[in-house]
Structure 1
């Protein structure tokens, strides 16, 4: 509520819209969303309620709700051509996140402060309230006679965050000091990212694959190797989130032993003095068949005619094309886009030109560097 009023004061003709995510976990939530809508209308701001209905499967409720919020909000913003979304996270949220991740044994990325600005899910996310305490915002609202809604879930000790929140209060820990520590860790993370980005400058990017000098990778500290591997996998697959830390560490051990390994849909293989990272063919085969222009969250394919679709070439179809002449490995060729019509192979434009189809990777070297820095 404080964020909405502050942004409304700031907007000065800028286009501002408001969205509330109703997780449908409490009977009162629909009315609460309507209250936000009424408050938005008093500020002449259009308001939308985005509804989430949880899957019946088990799992971490708060994590699932958080994922749903990001997805629903990003889809809403893109549909309304809004380039950025402002969130109301405070210094208290910063401190609680640090303590939760300490309890889980997180690495430096998990312990670092939430970013004031971050690009993800096709949208820029802004957190302009990180320097303010929750009580500061309540005082600000009280001073302007603005009502707000307290979520009763904030007292439910079934959730990790609420238990941490109460523990911070019980121990008399200073939220501002914890948030300051998270910012210091964030500064250390940025330094590591610059180190990794310097090593990444020597990467060779070609036909949607990444090749790193093996010696540079081997000689780098373990944390830098981890960052390069995670950024490479995300660049290959387009994933919004990094692979799990345990699986990354297992992959690094295998690479150190000279073995090839798969990681979240990427295939990593030491070859001579190089470390080659490409798309895992089996993962490409599982990618949804596309009518274009984008496929596998990796390629843009132009020149498709009605009835033509894009899917992975696959190992069985390699015999129909001269994949060796394209300078790709067998795995890279099998994972490359193929054009089919009524199930019949029409073209493999990355391997053989002349079909009138054009393919371009969705990400380039600049995107790889951004991922190294953002990680």
Structure 2
């Protein structure tokens, strides 16, 4: 049953001739490697394994090297990637995750891999949705992790989102395959570890993994509907486009619901400033200010993500903001 389920899940990987598996050595990623080794389409794909040593634990290097031995025993080339340099003292998990994806993307590029594959599973998905719920996330955040996304320009695939963690552990144990357990997963210094310990209590109140995944599925459907409406509104309102410019008819934007206007702005900001780290609260404030200015037919000039948004009552434009004057 598990192999049949995996074959269906791995349809996500089939279009990519070359794949890079991110394998940390935990049971989830080791199970991913085992399932790929048994994948009926394995022979028609070039599959390599990469392990990141973040340099944060004394045992990390030896564990990464052991993963290399396991990978090679299954016929996979292995690449050990190191996070070099001085490590940050704050937001360590967030920054380690960013460094990990950057290293994986660089490795995928150097190998010519079409996509990076991670072992995020159903428990990870439920935990992510709960974490975002506690942070007051919007609809797109509550949708959780998408099966297909992007990491530093490389396609990022998550074929195991329907697999509970217990099922992945069972795959390893049935194969007699060892794996490692990261002690940071139980460290109360990290918010996700604290949430993980709350899960049994929340489950008693009905907010279990199934309920969280159901919330994520509903949020994903709502997000898809909103995105479709925003795309149609974008097409109707767009009057001018260039690599460093977007122009819209103010009248076509005036009656848009705030959430649609917000997504329309987000789409153009992503195009004009792809490297910008756009926070939801700042986007919400910008969309609200623009919406009020349009309704009142008042001029507006604001900056967000190093872009200048201007409205004169007839047209709305987005373009790179001019350099700030030095003091």
Structure 2 length-normalised TM? 0.82
- Which residue pairs with 2:12 in the alignment? none
Measure how far apart 1:140 and its partner are.
1.5
Deviation digits for residues 342-374 of structure 1 (CA, Å, limit 9, x no counterpart): xxxxxxxxxxxxxxxxxxxxxxxxxxxxxxxxx
For 1:183 and 1:141, the matched residues in 2 are separated by 28
From 189, 198, 207, give the equivalent of 1:158. Answer: 189
Query: Per the alignment, do residues 55 and 232 of structure 1 end up closer, same or farther by CA in structure 2, a change over 3 Å counting?
Result: farther
From 178, 190, 211, give the equivalent of 1:177. Answer: 211
Check if 1:51 corresponds to 2:82: yes
Contact 2:47–2:76 at 8 Å: present in 1 too? yes
Query: Per the alignment, do residues 213 and 242 of structure 1 end up closer, same or farther by CA in structure 2, a change over 3 Å counting?
Result: farther
Query: Per the alignment, do residues 124 and 224 of structure 1 end up closer, same or farther by CA in structure 2, a change over 3 Å counting?
Result: same
SS of the residue corresponding to residue 16 of structure 1 reads strand
Contact 1:89–1:127 at 8 Å: present in 2 too? yes
Tell me how large the CA RMSD over aligned residues is: 1.9
For 2:212 and 2:284, the matched residues in 1 are separated by 28
Measure how far apart 1:56 and its partner are.
4.8
- Which residue pairs with 1:268 in the alignment? 309
Q: Choose 191-200 or 58-67, whichever is displaced more.
A: 58-67
Check if 1:144 corresponds to 2:175: yes
Q: Identify unmatched segments of 5+ residues in structure 2.
A: 1-29, 294-298
For 1:134 and 1:276, the matched residues in 2 are separated by 48
Contact 2:300–2:312 at 8 Å: present in 1 too? no
Deviation digits for residues 85-142 of structure 1 (CA, Å, limit 9, x no counterpart): 1100000001101111111111111111210011342111100000001101111111
Q: More helix per residue: 1 or 2? A: 2
Measure how far apart 1:55 and its partner are.
4.3
SS of the residue corresponding to residue 224 of structure 2 reads helix
- Which residue pairs with 1:188 in the alignment? 222
For 2:271 and 2:54, the matched residues in 1 are separated by 32
Contact 1:205–1:211 at 8 Å: present in 2 too? yes
Query: Per the alignment, do residues 58 and 264 of structure 1 end up closer, same or farther by CA in structure 2, a change over 3 Å counting?
Result: farther
Question: For 1:312-351, what aligned pairs fall within 5 Å after superposition?
Answer: none
Bigger RCO (CA 8 Å, 6+ sep): 2
For 2:188 and 2:258, the matched residues in 1 are separated by 37
SS of the residue corresponding to residue 125 of structure 1 reads strand
For 1:277 and 1:31, the matched residues in 2 are separated by 51
Measure how far apart 1:274 and its partner are.
1.4
Q: Identify unmatched segments of 5+ residues in structure 1.
A: 286-375
Measure how far apart 1:153 and its partner are.
1.0
Query: Per the alignment, do residues 68 and 56 of structure 1 end up closer, same or farther by CA in structure 2, a change over 3 Å counting?
Result: closer
Measure how far apart 1:175 and its partner are.
1.4
Q: Number of residues paired by the alignment? A: 284
Contact 1:85–1:123 at 8 Å: present in 2 too? yes
SS of the residue corresponding to residue 260 of structure 1 reads strand
Deviation digits for residues 244-297 of structure 1 (CA, Å, limit 9, x no counterpart): 1222223234433332111111111113421101111228x9xxxxxxxxxxxx
Contact 2:142–2:215 at 8 Å: present in 1 too? no
Question: For 1:233-244, what aligned pairs fall within 5 Å after superposition?
Answer: 233-239=269-275, 242-244=277-279
SS of the residue corresponding to residue 85 of structure 1 reads strand
- Which residue pairs with 2:10 in the alignment? none
For 1:69 and 1:215, the matched residues in 2 are separated by 45
For 1:207 and 1:105, the matched residues in 2 are separated by 34
Contact 2:139–2:223 at 8 Å: present in 1 too? yes
Q: Choose 173-182 or 267-276, whichever is displaced more.
A: 173-182
From 32, 38, 44, give the equivalent of 1:3. Answer: 32
Q: Choose 175-184 or 62-71, whichever is displaced more.
A: 175-184
From 267, 280, 294, give the equivalent of 1:231. Answer: 267
- Which residue pairs with 1:106 in the alignment? 137
SS of the residue corresponding to residue 17 of structure 1 reads strand
For 2:201 and 2:175, the matched residues in 1 are separated by 31
For 1:90 and 1:51, the matched residues in 2 are separated by 25
Contact 1:234–1:242 at 8 Å: present in 2 too? no
Which of these two proteins has the greater Rg computed from alpha carbons?
A: 1
